[in-house]
Amino acid sequence: MDYKNYIKDYIDKVIQVLNLIDKDAVNDVLKEIINAYEREGIIYIFGNGGSAATASHFANDFNKGISEYTDKKFKFLCLNDNIPTLTAIANDIGYEEIYSFQLRGRLEKDDLVIGISGSGNSKNVINALQYANENGIRTIGITGYDGGRVSRMVDVSLNVPINNMQITEDIHMIFDHLIMTVLYQVWGIVGH
């Protein structure tokens, strides 16, 4: 069997959706991340499943990737990276609190909270963003589909407007590398 038509369809759909991305929203996310960096705030990031992997990748790319070339370092903290903490909270308190519990008593005014949810309706992401909002902390939601509740509760919403989780997650990773690349260019980091 020849799979090239399926391959072409998928690539064409990714390109089509990329052309629908709100560039102002990407720009606003960049500004929020740079502002938190300049304030020396902690940037908390988290998600579930593939979004957890994306959150972890963001933290890696900023804590090592960009920070390797800067005197002042990014302070990304991925809340889904500590499995013992996650499972203890999920077991003893509830899965819906795995991120909000980790933020309690830790947030400072200069911090930034980024929740990633493909559907925009992940209860644990919503609870953490709500806690940040209640404490006056800037929030970003990175979503797909129609953005769900997350898109309506954050300061900046970055949405992939498609009802397809795979393409949503693909483009969420593009956001990470796009933002990273813009910073390399703006900051004159050679070779990137």
Question: Which tens digit of pLDDT belongs to each residue from 142-155?
Answer: 999 999 999 999 99
Average the pLDDT over 24-43 and give the result.
98
Tally Cβ neighbours within 10 Å of residue 27: 13
Residue 45: pLDDT band (50, 70, 90) is very high
Query: Which strands, in side-by-side order, build the sheet including 156-159?
Result: 76-78, 43-46, 112-117, 138-143, 156-159
Query: Which of 149, 141, 192, 140 has its CA nearest to residue 168?
Result: 141
Q: Name residue 125's amino acid.
A: V
Q: Which pLDDT value is given to residue 192?
A: 65
Q: How far is CA 141 from CA 14, 83, 116, in A?
A: 20, 23, 6
Is 191's pLDDT higher than 80?
no
pTM: 0.97
Average the pLDDT over 77-102 and give the result.
98
Is 79's pLDDT higher than 70?
yes
* Mean pLDDT of all residues belonging to the chain: 97
Q: Which pLDDT value is given to residue 113?
A: 99
Is 164's pLDDT higher than 70?
yes
Average the pLDDT over 123-133 and give the result.
98
Q: Which pLDDT value is given to residue 173?
A: 98
Is 8's pLDDT higher than 80?
yes
Q: How far is CA 63 from CA 19, 106, 156, in A?
A: 29, 19, 22
Is 122's pLDDT higher than 80?
yes
Q: Which pLDDT value is given to residue 190?
A: 74
Is 171's pLDDT higher than 70?
yes
How far, in Å, CA of 23 to CA of 91, rounded? 40
Average the pLDDT over 130-152 and give the result.
98
CATH topology of domain 22-186: Rossmann fold (3.40.50)
